[in-house]
A and B are shown apart, each in its own frame.
Chain A
Amino acid sequence: MSTTETPATQARAGVLSPISRESFGYTQARHLLWRAGFGGTPDQIQLLVEWGPERSVEHLVELTDTPRQPVEEGRFSRSIIGSPDAETRARYRRARQTNDEEALARLRLERQRRQAQDRKQIREMQWWWLTRLIETPRPLEEKMTLFWHGHFATSYRTIEDSYHMFVQNQLYRSNALGNYGVLMHQIIRDPAMIAYLDNNDSRKGKPNENLAREIMELFSLGVGNYTENDIKEGARALTGYTFEDDRFVFKQQNHDGGAKRILGRGGNMDGDDFVDTILAQQACSNYMCQKLYRFFAADLPDSGKPDRETATVLREMASLFRRANYEVAPVLTKLFLSEHFYSDRVVNQRIKSPVELIVGAIRSLHTPARDLSVLLDAMSLMGQNILFPPSVAGWDGERSWINTSTMFVRQNIMTYLLTGKTPRGYDALADEQRFDADPVLNQLTQGDPSALKDSGRVIDYLLRFTLGQAPTHARDALLGFVETNGGETNDDMITGLLLLITAMPEYQLT
Chain B
Amino acid sequence: MDLHNAQAFTRRHFLGTGLTLASASMALPAFLQRSAFGLPMAAPGMSSIPGVDEDKILVVLQLGGGNDGLNTVIPYGDDNYYRRRTGINIPSNRVLELSQNSGVGLHPSLAAFKELHDEGMLSIIQGIGYPNPNRSHFKSMDIWHTADTSGTGQGWLGKYFDAECCGYGKGESGSPDGTQSQRAPSASSGSTTGEMQGQPGIAIGREAPLAMQGRKAMPISFETPDLFRWTGVEVHESLEKPYTTITKHGVRDGVDTDSTAGFLMRTTLDAQVSSDLIRKAVRQQPLAQYPGNALGRDMAMVASMIRAGLGTRVYYVSLGGFDTHAGQGNQNGRHANLLQTFATTIRAFYQDLSASENDARVLTMVFSEFGRRVSQNASGGTDHGTAAPMFLVGPMVKPGLIGDHPSLSDLDNGDLKYKIDFRSVYASILEDWLSADSKTILERSYRKLPVFG
Contacts and interface: CB of A to CB of B under 8 A. Distances in A.
Interface of A: 101-102, 104-105, 108-109, 112, 115, 119, 157-158, 299, 348-351, 380-381, 383, 390-391, 396, 398-400, 402-408, 411-412, 415-416, 419, 421-425, 471, 473-474, 477-478, 480-481, 484-485, 496, 499-500, 503-506, 508-509
Interface in B308-354: none
Nearest to A109: B383
A30 B88 CA distance: 67
Interface of B is mostly: loop
Contacts of A499: 232, 235, 239
10 contacts: A108-B383, A391-B153, A398-B171, A399-B260, A399-B263, A402-B171, A402-B264, A404-B173, A424-B227, A480-B245
Nearest to A102: B378
Contacts, number: 166
B152 interface: yes
A484 B237 CA distance: 12
Contacts of B229: 408
Nearest to A393: B215
Contacts of B142: 157
Contacts of A419: 235
A425 B230 contact: no
Interface residues of B, number: 66
A471 B252 contact: yes
Contacts of B224: 424-425
A402 B247 contact: no
B414 A411 contact: no
A415 to B, nearest CB: 5
B115 interface: no
A473 B274 CA distance: 23
Interface in B226-267: 226-232, 234-236, 238-239, 241-243, 245-247, 249, 252, 260-261, 263-265, 267
Contacts of A381: 207-208, 221
Contacts of A109: 383
Contacts of A415: 230-232, 235
A329 B234 CA distance: 46
Nearest to B223: A425
A118 B264 CA distance: 39
B264 A424 contact: no
B200 interface: yes
B72 interface: no
Given A423-B234, A509-B260, A404 B267 contact: yes
Interface of B: 135-136, 138, 142, 150-154, 168, 170-174, 200, 207-208, 213, 215-216, 218-224, 226-232, 234-236, 238-239, 241-243, 245-247, 249, 252, 260-261, 263-265, 267-268, 270-271, 274-275, 375, 377-378, 383-384, 413-414
Contacts of A402: 171, 173, 263-264, 267
A416 B230 CA distance: 11
Given A351-B264, A484-B241, 9 more contacts: A108-B384, A403-B173, A411-B232, A415-B235, A419-B235, A423-B227, A480-B241, A481-B239, A500-B239
Contacts of A398: 171, 260
Contacts of B247: 503-505
Given A351-B264, A391-B152, A500-B246, A404 B220 contact: yes
A505 B231 CA distance: 16
Given A415-B230, A484-B238, A503-B230, A404 B271 contact: yes
Given A157-B142, A383-B218, A419-B235, A403 B268 contact: no
A349 B263 CA distance: 12
4 nearest CB pairs, A to B: A399-B171, A505-B264, A404-B271, A481-B242
A503 B171 contact: no
Contacts of B152: 157-158, 391
Contacts of B172: 399
Contacts of B383: 105, 108-109
Given A400-B170, A506-B264, A496 B246 contact: no
A424 B260 CA distance: 32
Contacts of A348: 261
A101 B271 CA distance: 54
Contacts of A481: 238-239, 241-242
Nearest to A101: B414
A405 B220 contact: yes
A407 B242 CA distance: 18
Contacts of B220: 403-405
A155 B252 CA distance: 40
B313 to A, nearest CB: 16
Contacts of B239: 481, 496, 499-500
Given A415-B230, A422-B231, A425-B224, A405 B245 contact: no
A477 B246 contact: yes
Contacts of B231: 411-412, 415-416, 421-423
